[in-house]
């Protein structure tokens, strides 16, 4: 990726008209570490935008500064919130130390985007806004599509210039936590909480903290065995509890900025409390007790299901698993435990219903987990802008009995499986950076629209050229719908290649152990999840349960998730289900072609290297979309032998 500086991304500050007015001096008031970071960042931004270097002053009084060009940044109460005000030629940004940093980035963003409304007060919608990295200590990344890890190499923790560049990137969009190692804690990763690694982790955590970011680690629940030399990891065993307490005292003393731990327990072969006949609450609370003295958090993943299902078994329904396991435990978790719940009941498919578990937890803190690593959505070789999907999820009403009952009202924050790696552009596909930026912005401000976030990211990344903004925004905003159309139909999911999860394989997961079946035969397809079937719909609060259970009221994009239907079933459009499948796949592939057309209009408008990088991936996307179209359509044609009404080519 010639010519691309990883430090740039959407922070490539460029000469901008009308920024000079308050960039003569920067006056700092306050001693917080993030306030200093804010001052440095603002200075760099103004230098790049105006070509002049502002004077930076520390002091009580802005009057000595070079009026009328004064930017006052001021530490006040407010934690992560900030106030911004332009009055009498003085631009003031105030707030807690972290808040001022967010305010500084907000000001830079406004200037870069040409937004002249400088009077605002903002606080983050939620306290936790995290990335989960699935980086392994050998430097590989599970489901990583952007090169190797920049946190680990050869079983060592890496701290270098990129550590700071990464933290800056996150802070600029509002992310305040990062769990840097894979939730599948394997090999050397078990030893991250030993003296072998703590020194380096402290260095990293201090760099992170300058940007308002807490370092988190993923934890091996069986650590008392794997590194402690105990004979058990039973969370009710006194020796185990004592071991964890001692261990956490050691860890937090060495790394005082540590935020806490993410735990994947009793899931896909990971150890957990079930091995000892204990509940998830007993497991999580034991850890919570050990980290409580240091203000630590335990983030406990709810991705627990039977991953050794017999495909012949039609009674077991993986979709039920999270709710079956965790809903009964509501109220039994310590208050420094967050349950991290995947957005849907399965696993980050392009279309799933929202997890019913969000509607069941009234007395438990929880996080919404999404995946910006595009595992099932094109692996950063396809454009798939996920923010519209995240918006839908946040606004989904759980009908949990509260007045404000949307997912956004229920959660204490958001976590995203990260899409970053050591590629120069961070995210493999240049346009995939919009998902990283967008996740942070949306997590910070749940009220932002996907369109506005896209607009910001484009302006910051590519400048404010009208056609650039228009075309790229169109590309991003339509990309998820296009991907959905040319892949698995109507919420059925899982028609991807087993293992890699890239490209079509209509029956790749059909006879496997993962609980992911469509059971298509010559006449019908889908799993009946109504009370007449697996009863999954009953996990939703009324009236959602009834809405989903009735094929007439069930949202059509989820029809085959909830119902088993004949191919001749008529949709609201009047089309049969099979004709809808054919049409959607032809349309979707057409939309992939349209992406190329829109991008090609930008030749000469974006930097040539970036232009070609994206074009190459768009071409691959089109080829892949056509493959999806032809495989899925041919699969259904061969199975149903119902011809396409429009007589298009099937194989």
Contacts with a copy of itself by CB under 8 A lie at 311-312, 499, 504-508, 511, 519-523, 627, 630-631, 634-635, 637-641, 651
The least distance separating a copy of itself from the CB of residue 314, rounded to whole angstroms, comes to 8
The least distance separating a copy of itself from the CB of residue 361, rounded to whole angstroms, comes to 36
Closest CB to a copy of itself among residues 499, 542: 499
Closest CB to a copy of itself among residues 165, 632: 632
DSSP annotation string for 3-44: T--TTTGGG-----TT-GGG-SEEEEE---HHHHHHHHHHHH
Distance between CA atoms of 192 and 208, rounded to whole angstroms? 17
The least distance separating a copy of itself from the CB of residue 622, rounded to whole angstroms, comes to 15
Other Cβ atoms closer than 10 A to 402: 11
Other Cβ atoms closer than 10 A to 165: 18
The least distance separating a copy of itself from the CB of residue 630, rounded to whole angstroms, comes to 6
The least distance separating a copy of itself from the CB of residue 483, rounded to whole angstroms, comes to 19
Closest CB to a copy of itself among residues 484, 626: 626
Q: Count how many Cα atoms sit within 13 Å of the Cα of residue 90 in the half-sphere of its side chain.
A: 17
Beta bridge partners of 30: none
Tokens of 215: 């370092």
Closest CB to a copy of itself among residues 253, 500: 500
Q: Are 485 and 591 in contact (CB under 8 A)?
A: yes
Of 501, 500, 465, nearest in space to 607 by CA = 465
Mark 470-490 as b/e (b = at least 16 C-beta within 10 Å).
Answer: ebbbebbebbbbbbbbbbbbb
Q: Are 561 and 490 in contact (CB under 8 A)?
A: yes
Closest CB to a copy of itself among residues 312, 646: 312
Closest CB to a copy of itself among residues 364, 633: 633
Distance between CA atoms of 429 and 432, rounded to whole angstroms? 5
The least distance separating a copy of itself from the CB of residue 634, rounded to whole angstroms, comes to 8
Q: Are 116 and 110 in contact (CB under 8 A)?
A: yes
The least distance separating a copy of itself from the CB of residue 428, rounded to whole angstroms, comes to 23
Size of the chain in residues: 651
Closest CB to a copy of itself among residues 14, 522: 522
Closest CB to a copy of itself among residues 170, 632: 632
Q: CA angle at residue 3 from 372 to 211, to 5 degrees?
A: 50
Tokens of 493: 């999911």
The least distance separating a copy of itself from the CB of residue 312, rounded to whole angstroms, comes to 5
List CB contacts of 473: < 8 A, sequence separation 6 or more: 451, 454, 455, 458
Q: Are 165 and 7 in contact (CB under 8 A)?
A: yes
Distance between CA atoms of 23 and 37, rounded to whole angstroms? 17
Closest CB to a copy of itself among residues 144, 504: 504
Q: Which residues are catalytic?
A: 268, 347, 375
3-state secondary structure of 81: coil
The least distance separating a copy of itself from the CB of residue 638, rounded to whole angstroms, comes to 4
Mark 31-63 as b/e (b = at least 16 C-beta within 10 Å).
Answer: ebebbbbbbebbbebbebbbeeebbbbeeeebe
Closest CB to a copy of itself among residues 483, 509: 509
Of 428, 288, 330, 295, nearest in space to 372 by CA = 428
The least distance separating a copy of itself from the CB of residue 603, rounded to whole angstroms, comes to 30
Beta strand 90-95 pairing with 70-75: parallel
Closest CB to a copy of itself among residues 210, 501: 501
Angle at which helix 280-291 crosses helix 238-254, to 10 degrees, equals: 40
**Alpha-carbon 289 to chain mean position:** 28
Distance between CA atoms of 180 and 437, rounded to whole angstroms? 18
- CA dihedral (400, 403, 407, 412) in degrees, to 10, reads -100
Q: Are 383 and 429 in contact (CB under 8 A)?
A: yes
List CB contacts of 141: < 8 A, sequence separation 6 or more: 133, 134, 135, 148, 149, 182, 421
Q: Count how many Cα atoms sit within 13 Å of the Cα of residue 316 in the half-sphere of its side chain.
A: 17
Closest CB to a copy of itself among residues 294, 637: 637
Distance between CA atoms of 507 and 558, rounded to whole angstroms? 19
């Amino acid at each position: 990726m010639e010519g691309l500086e990883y430090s740039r991304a959407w922070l490539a500050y460029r000469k901008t008209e009308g920024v000079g007015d308050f960039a003569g001096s920067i006056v700092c008031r306050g001693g917080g570490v993030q306030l200093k970071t804010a001052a440095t960042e603002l200075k760099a931004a103004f230098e790049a935008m105006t070509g002049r270097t502002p004077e930076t002053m520390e002091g009580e009084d802005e009057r000595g500064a070079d009026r009328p060009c004064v930017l006052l940044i001021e530490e006040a109460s407010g934690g992560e919130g900030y106030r911004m005000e332009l009055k009498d030629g003085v631009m003031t940004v105030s707030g807690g130390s972290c808040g001022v940093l967010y305010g500084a980035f907000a000001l830079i963003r406004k200037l870069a985007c040409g937004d002249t409304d400088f009077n605002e007060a903002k606080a983050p919608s939620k306290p936790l806004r995290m990335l989960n990295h699935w980086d392994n200590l050998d430097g590989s990344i599970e489901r990583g599509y952007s090169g190797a890890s920049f946190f680990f190499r050869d079983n060592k923790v890496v701290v270098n210039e990129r550590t700071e560049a990464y933290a800056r990137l996150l802070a600029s969009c509002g992310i305040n936590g990062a769990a840097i190692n894979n939730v599948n804690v394997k090999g050397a990763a078990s030893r991250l909480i030993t003296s072998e690694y703590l020194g380096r982790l402290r260095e990293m955590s201090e760099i992170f903290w300058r940007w308002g970011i807490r370092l988190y680690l993923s934890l091996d629940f069986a650590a008392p065995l794997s590194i402690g030399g105990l004979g058990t990891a039973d969370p009710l065993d006194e020796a185990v509890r004592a071991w964890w307490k001692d261990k956490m005292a050691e860890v937090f003393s060495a790394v005082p900025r540590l935020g806490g731990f993410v735990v994947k327990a009793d899931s896909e072969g990971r150890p957990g409390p079930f091995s000892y006949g204990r509940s998830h609450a007993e497991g999580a609370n034991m850890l919570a007790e050990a980290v409580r003295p240091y203000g630590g958090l335990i983030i406990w993943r709810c991705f627990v299901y039977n991953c050794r299902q017999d495909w012949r078994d039609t009674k077991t329904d993986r979709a039920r698993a999270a709710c079956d396991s965790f809903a009964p435990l509501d109220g039994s978790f310590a208050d420094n435990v967050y349950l991290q719940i995947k957005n849907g009941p399965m696993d980050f498919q392009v279309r799933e219903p929202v997890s019913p578990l969000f509607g069941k937890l009234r007395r438990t803190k929880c996080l919404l987990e999404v995946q910006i690593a595009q595992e099932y959505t094109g692996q950063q070789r396809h454009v798939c802008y996920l923010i519209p999907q995240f918006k839908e999820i946040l606004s989904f009403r759980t009908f949990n009995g509260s007045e404000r009952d949307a997912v956004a009202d229920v959660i204490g924050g958001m976590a995203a499986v990260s899409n970053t790696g050591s590629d120069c552009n961070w995210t493999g596909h240049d346009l995939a950076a919009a998902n990283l930026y967008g996740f942070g912005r949306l997590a910070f401000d749940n009220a932002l629209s996907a369109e506005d976030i896209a607009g910001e990211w484009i302006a910051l990344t590519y400048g404010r050229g009208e056609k650039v903004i228009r075309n790229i925004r169109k590309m991003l905003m339509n990309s998820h719908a296009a991907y959905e159309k040319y892949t698995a139909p109507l919420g059925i999911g899982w028609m991807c290649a087993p293992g890699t999860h890239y490209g079509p394989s209509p029956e790749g997961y059909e006879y496997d152990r993962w609980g992911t079946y469509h059971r298509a035969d010559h006449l019908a397809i889908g799993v009946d999840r109504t009370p007449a079937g697996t009863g999954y719909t009953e996990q939703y609060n009324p009236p959602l349960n009834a809405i989903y259970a009735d094929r007439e009221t069930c949202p059509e994009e989820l029809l085959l998730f909830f119902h088993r239907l004949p191919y001749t079933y008529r949709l609201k459009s009047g089309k049969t289900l099979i004709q809808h499948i054919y049409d959607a796949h032809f349309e979707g592939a057409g939309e992939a072609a349209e992406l190329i057309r829109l991008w090609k209009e930008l030749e000469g408008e974006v930097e040539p290297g970036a232009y070609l990088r994206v074009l190459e991936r768009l071409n691959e996307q089109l080829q892949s979309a056509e493959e999806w179209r032809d495989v899925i359509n041919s699969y259904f044609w061969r199975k149903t032998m119902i011809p396409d009404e429009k007589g298009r080519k099937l194989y």
